[in-house]
Structure 1
Amino acid sequence: MDIVLEVFDTVFFDRFWAAVYPASSLAAYKENPQHASTPTFSSMREMPTSIQPATKFFQLEPSRYAYLSEWPRDNIYRQGASLFLITWIFGLVLYFICSTLSYYLVFDHDTFTHPKYLKNQVRKEIRQTMQSMPFMSLCTAPLFLLEVRGFGKLYDEPSDAPFALYNILQFPLFICFTDFFIYCIHRCLHHPLFYKRLHKKHHKWIMPTPFASHAFHPLDGFSQSIPYHVFPFLFPLQKFAYVALFVFINIWTVLIHDGEYVANSYVINGAACHTMHHLYFNYNYGQFTTIWDRLGGSYRQPNEELFSRESKMSKDEWERQTLEMEKLQKEVEGDDDRDYGDESRRLQKKVL
Structure 2
Amino acid sequence: MDHVLTFMDYHIFTPYVYSGSWPESNVARQILSLWIITTLGAELIYLGFGALNFYFVFDHDLMKHPLFIKNQVKNEIRLGSVSLFWMSFPTVGLFYLEIKGHSKLYDNIETQGLSGVILSIAGFLFFTDMCIYWIHRFMHHKSIYKYLHKQHHIFKIPTPFASHAFHPLDGFLQSLPYHIYPFIFPLHKMVYLSLFVFVNIWTISIHDGDYRIPGQLIHLINGAAHHVDHHLYFKYNYGQYLTLWDRLGGSYHYPSALLAKGPHDDIQKLKQ
**Aligned positions of 1:104-123 closer than 5 A:** 104-123=55-74
Contact 1:132 1:217 in 2 (8 A): yes
Amino acid at match of 1:139: P
Change in CA separation of 1:157 and 1:117 when aligned onto 2, cut-off 3 Å: same
Structure 2 Cα separation of the partners of residues 83 and 16 of structure 1: 16
Structure 2 Cα separation of the partners of residues 208 and 166 of structure 1: 37
- 1:82 aligned to 2:33? yes
Structure 1 Cα separation of the partners of residues 153 and 25 of structure 2: 41
Structure 2 Cα separation of the partners of residues 126 and 6 of structure 1: 31
Contact 1:205 1:278 in 2 (8 A): yes
Counterpart of 1:290 in structure 2 is: 243
**Aligned positions of 1:220-259 closer than 5 A:** 220-259=170-209
Give the structure, 1 or 2, with the largest relative contact order (CA under 8 Å, sep 6 or more). 2
Structure 1 Cα separation of the partners of residues 140 and 210 of structure 2: 25
Contact 1:103 1:210 in 2 (8 A): yes
Counterpart of 2:166 in structure 1 is: 216
TM-score under structure 2 normalisation?
0.93
Contact 2:65 2:263 in 1 (8 A): no
Contact 1:306 1:312 in 2 (8 A): no
**CA deviations over 1:106-141 (Å, ceiling 9, x no partner):** 000001110100101000001111221211001110
**Aligned positions of 1:247-286 closer than 5 A:** 247-263=197-213, 265-286=218-239
**Which structure's residues are more often helix, by fraction?**
2
Residue 168 of structure 1: how far off its partner (Å): 1.1
Contact 1:201 1:216 in 2 (8 A): yes
Contact 1:270 1:288 in 2 (8 A): yes
**CA deviations over 1:91-120 (Å, ceiling 9, x no partner):** 111111100010011000001110100101
Counterpart of 2:124 in structure 1 is: 174
Counterpart of 1:50 in structure 2 is: none
Change in CA separation of 1:307 and 1:268 when aligned onto 2, cut-off 3 Å: same
Counterpart of 2:144 in structure 1 is: 194
Structure 2 Cα separation of the partners of residues 278 and 193 of structure 1: 19
Aligned residues: CA RMSD: 2.0
Residue 16 of structure 1: how far off its partner (Å): 4.9
Structure whose CA Rg is larger: 1
Contact 1:102 1:210 in 2 (8 A): yes
Structure 2 stretches lacking a partner, 5+ long: none
Name the % identity. 50
Contact 2:64 2:267 in 1 (8 A): no
Change in CA separation of 1:218 and 1:262 when aligned onto 2, cut-off 3 Å: same
Residue 312 of structure 1: how far off its partner (Å): 5.1
Counterpart of 2:12 in structure 1 is: 12
Residues matched between the structures, number: 269
Structure 1 stretches lacking a partner, 5+ long: 23-67, 319-346
- 1:149 aligned to 2:87? no
TM-score under structure 1 normalisation?
0.73
Change in CA separation of 1:259 and 1:307 when aligned onto 2, cut-off 3 Å: farther
Selected match of 1:300 from 250, 253, 256: 253
